[in-house]
Amino acid sequence: MDYFTDFNMTLEKLFGSNNTEKKMETVSQALEVLLVAAQRQDCLTVGVYESAKLMNVDPDSVVLCVLATDEEDEGDIALQIHFTLLQAFCCDNGINILRVAGMGCLAELLEEDSTGDKNGNEPRDLHCILVTNPQVQPLQSLALDNISSFCEESRCSNQWVPCLEMHDR
């Protein structure tokens, strides 16, 4: 295969569609494990604005940026502009990025209530989730390693922002 002339290479072409489906499921499961573990360790930053603030102050602590949408979000121009800026910042700073479809699945996974919390606060904005790596006790996670490898493989095949679909649990 000539890598210089085939610019439209996809994961299906590289690994075959059956292997790709297995790989995507493995990465989805790894993402679930990582997000739950990071939440337990207080290593998640949730929300577009909160994420942008953290990346401006301490980009070296961020190991993964998850940008999540549903079909109805595709027409939200402001959100797409935020995503473009966040993606550019992540690329400039060597931060792995994943686009994820399935906001409901993320909310369920992170035990988020769509109506807010018991104190009357608005529900958290799950469109952007950062996983950070604390300096004191860094995350040692097979799930993070699997996701990082997936992101690296995607970049090698010119897919800078790989996409995953979260499935109901």
For residue range 34-51, list pLDDT tens digits in order: 999 899 889 999 999 999
Provide the mean pLDDT of the chain.
Answer: 81
More confident residue, 102 or 131: 131
Residues 6 or more apart whose CB falls under 8 angstroms from that of 84 comprise none
The vertex-118 CA angle with 117 and 124, nearest 5°, equals 10
37 inside domain: no
pTM of the entire structure?
A: 0.79
17 inside domain: no
Q: 67 - beta bridge partners?
A: 99, 128
- The number of folded domains in the chain is 1
- Distance of alpha carbon 90 from alpha carbon 32, whole angstroms: 21
99 inside domain: yes
> What is the domain-level CATH number for residue 159?
3.30.1330.30
pLDDT confidence bin for 163, thresholds 50/70/90? confident
Range of the domain at 98: 44-110+125-165
75 inside domain: yes
pLDDT 10s digits, 48-98:
999 999 999 999 999 999 999 888 888 899 999 999 999 999 999 999 999
CB atoms within 10 A of CB 14: 14
